[in-house]
Structure 1
Amino acid sequence: MSAPTTVVVADDQELIRGAFAAILDAEPDLTVVAEAADGAEAVEAVRRHRPHLLVVDIRMPQMDGVEATRIVCAETDTRVLVLTTFDQDEYVYGALRAGASGFLLKDVRRAELLAAVRVVAAGESLLAPSVTTRLIDDVVRQRRPKPTETAALTQLSGREREILGLVGLGLSNAEIAGRLTLSEHTVKTHVSSVLSKLHLRDRVQAVVLAYESGLILPGE
């Protein structure tokens, strides 16, 4: 039997933090190694325990979940799943941009929480690309930022830029394969190359970059 997935749970509300920790720790394949009451405690707990996953509330005192996510993703291989009360939230966009692999609403059902934790801990992005795209499109549309061509994109081949744009639109590998008349395996190889060249953790960060670089414009 493989070693359990280790988790740090961070939320400033003790009852919510305790409830989430209890649900996770009751599973044989999951172990909660620490709890934290704010972002600073969460960062220190991750530095100390090096868990597979940090489950963190976005809005907390001292240091919020966005900043904690930025530090954790910059310093460690720990993956991050953020909790929030609102799915259309500037904070969520900030957390995804900082490196989070997905978000959950705090009223999530037990089974959905467990499934999300296992998906993110396994190295996948939690959100369906279409959900990520909708969220980022809404926030970017409200901000109306001026797209800036990211220097890193010059590392990509023409085909890789094309595929990044389609990932940004929320298409799955199978859908991209159908549109470009390629095998799904070839698309998967291209996506992996894009993530590697751009130093992105998963497709969530690819969607963010596609918007911020101007490959995708709000409303497309």
Structure 2
Amino acid sequence: MRQLLHDDSGVSGPVTYEPDRVPYDSSAAAGNGKDEDSRTAPEVHRDANTLPDDPARLPTTIRSFCPTGRTADGPPEGRAQHSFRAIGPMAEACPVAPAALARIHRAMATIPGVRVTGHLVKDAAGREAIAITRKEDSGHEQREILPDPHDSGHVGQRFVVTEDYTYELSSGKAQGPASGFRAGRILTGDARVEAAVVDAEGEKP
């Protein structure tokens, strides 16, 4: 898998990188320092297939995939934001069967605050994509999950400024000049430019 990362925060520009290969078999990933939000392909398929058809039950089920709902250095995470964060790794997983992906996207539609933009956007590789968005509960940005408009497969994500604001670094001895951010500015984004399933570590598609 190859991805293109773009950071417009003033720290860095576009860079192409290869994420760590993810074992398809969930047993191979067990106990291997797996991030609590990560999902292997079999886990995604299982979780997507167990999503209930009842919209009232969906939010609780979604949050159970990533049960940590609060952070140590901030206020408790709201339920809707927790749901959107929890379902994100499922939408971004590879490979995902079309039927499972459809259930994931239908589940997203039940999360308060989630919407689809009325126009296509550009991912970090300059390709057109649908934007499924939700404004962060704290802050001035929204997260955008980007499916392909042709097959709904995941192509990337972005964080976009939703309102004009000024940020000034002033914490203890650390101080710096104020930075202004305008609504619509893309802070960071990544694009999946290549993905494949291979039989062994180091094998090329």
TM-score under structure 2 length normalisation: 0.29
Which structure has more relative contact order (CA 8 Å, sep 6+)? It is 2
Q: Which has the higher strand share?
A: 2
TM-score under structure 1 length normalisation: 0.27
Q: Which has the higher helix share?
A: 1
